[in-house]
Each structure stands twice: as structure tokens, then as C-alpha cells.
Amino acid sequence: MKIFIILVSLLGSSVFVKAQRHIAEATIVYNIKGVAINGAASTTVYLKGNSSRTEMVSALGKEITIYNSKTDNAVILKEFSGQKLMISLTRENWNTKNNLYRNIKFELSNDYKTIGIYRTRKAIAKMPDGKTFEVFYAPDLIAANKEYDATFSNLPGLAIEYEIESGQMKFTYSLSNISYDSVQESLFDFPTSGYRVMTYDENQKLKKGN
């Protein structure tokens, strides 16, 4: 009887592991809702090996982050009000930018929710500054490159729905589509023209009005 129970347990574990999908290449699209957003807004994430490209598009403009987790090379492209800015980041800049999010701890609950075709599990994200937010994630979908979004690098699955607070505003992200079709390598190339180039430190000074 004990042997039978062990075999059943192992079989169940085997089925679960096989059901998990490790995402090495994909296009992931989230819809964004929030009181400060006029019209449609979305974030599209392109993953291919160590490379990632995240595009946030709204009525105000577009912001693109291209990052290689192996070399730590990154740029942020901003296109707003006819202005095109490219911010280059060193390894140290990237770590500084994402330091707050890398230390997020997730408290996993036993609450489950079906969102679209995904059976998700609830987690409470606890940030170093004391803030918390809820995220529903799919444990059976695992991004091979977990560094594409520092916010969820410690989450044991793909974020399907979550709410992020920025200042006094809240934004809800909901997964709308995942495509596993091949992603063009050229999407991860850094532009060589057409943008005003600025370093990360210069951009930070500009934000502070220095």
C-alpha cells in the first residue's frame, strides 16, 4: 500500500512538471487600466534567450526598454510629444534602477482564480519600502529569462494580473495574449540614429531639475 501511494505521488509530480512550460521565446501582451490613462494602453514583452524588449504604449507616447541579461547592456527609448530620447545604462545603472524591485518578497497564498484560460495562484508582494500589492500568477508558465522584469524575478511563475502603484495612481495589468511564434532578432538591436542620446546619470539629473 505504501509503495502504491509513493508511485501515485511520483506520478502526480511527474505530470505537474511536464505541464510546466519554460518560456524561452515569446511575445507577451498586457492591457493596462488606470485613472490616469486616456484611451487604450498596453505593455508588450518580447523574449528571446537572454534578450528582452518591453514596450509600453499609451495615448501619451511610447517607452521601450531593451535589455540583455547576459551582458547587462540596456537602453531605454522614450518617444513622447515628438521627442525621441535614448538613455544608455551601464550594469551599475541597471542594478540601481531595479534595486528596489529585486528585493521584493512574495508571500504565496492558497487562493486560486481562473483568469481567461489560466488557473492562477494569488501572491502578496512585499516591497522593501513597506508597500504591498497583489499578483495572480500561473505556476505552470516559467520565463527562462527571469531578469526581463525585476519586479517578478522572485515570483515562481508568470504574472497574469497585478496592480502597481505609482505615486497616488494605481494601474492594473492584465494578460491579454501570449504568442510562442519566433521573435525577430532585430527587435533587440540598439538604435544607432534618430534619437537624442543621454546617459542614465544625465537623465536622473534632468528629472531632479539639476
The 10s digit of each residue's pLDDT in 69-81 is: 888 889 999 999 8
122, with CB counted inside 10 A (0-12, 13-18, 19+), is middle
Residue 168 has phi, psi (to 5 degrees) of -100, 5
Half-sphere exposure of 80 (CA within 13 A, CB side): 11
Alpha-carbon distance of 57 to 62, in angstroms, equals 5
Beta strands in the chain (DSSP E): 21-23, 25-34, 42-48, 51-58, 61-68, 73-80, 83-89, 105-115, 118-126, 132-138, 141-143, 158-166, 169-179, 196-199
Q: What is the pLDDT of residues 28-70, one digit of tens each?
A: 999 999 866 667 899 999 999 999 999 999 988 999 999 998 8
Residue 5 has pLDDT above 90, yes or no: no
Beta bridge partners of 74: 67, 89
Number of Cβ atoms within 10 Å of the Cβ of 120: 24
Q: What is the pLDDT of residue 210?
A: 56
Q: What is the pLDDT of residue 166?
A: 74
Which comes out higher in pLDDT, residue 166 or 140? 140
Beta strands in 82-187 (DSSP E): 83-89, 105-115, 118-126, 132-138, 141-143, 158-166, 169-179
Q: What is the pLDDT of residue 8?
A: 39
Q: What is the pLDDT of residues 83-118, one digit of tens each?
A: 999 999 999 999 899 988 888 999 999 999 999 999
Strand 158-166 to strand 196-199: parallel, antiparallel, or no bridges (unpaired)? unpaired
Q: What is the mean pLDDT of residues 110-136?
A: 94
Question: Highest mean pLDDT: which of 13-17, 58-62, 134-138, 165-169?
Answer: 134-138
Q: Is the dihedral of CA 86, 87, 91, 94 positive or negative?
A: negative
Angle, alpha carbons 27-190-160 (nearest 5°): 25
Alpha-carbon distance of 182 to 76, in angstroms, equals 23
Q: What is the pLDDT of residue 23?
A: 95
Longest CA–CA separation in the chain, Å = 74
Q: What is the pLDDT of residues 163-186, one digit of tens each?
A: 988 777 889 999 999 999 999 999
Out of 8-17, 37-46, 121-130, 143-152, least confident range:
8-17
CATH code, 20-208: 2.50.20.10
Q: What is the pLDDT of residue 34?
A: 83
Residue 207 has pLDDT above 90, yes or no: no
Cell numbers linked to 144: 527562462
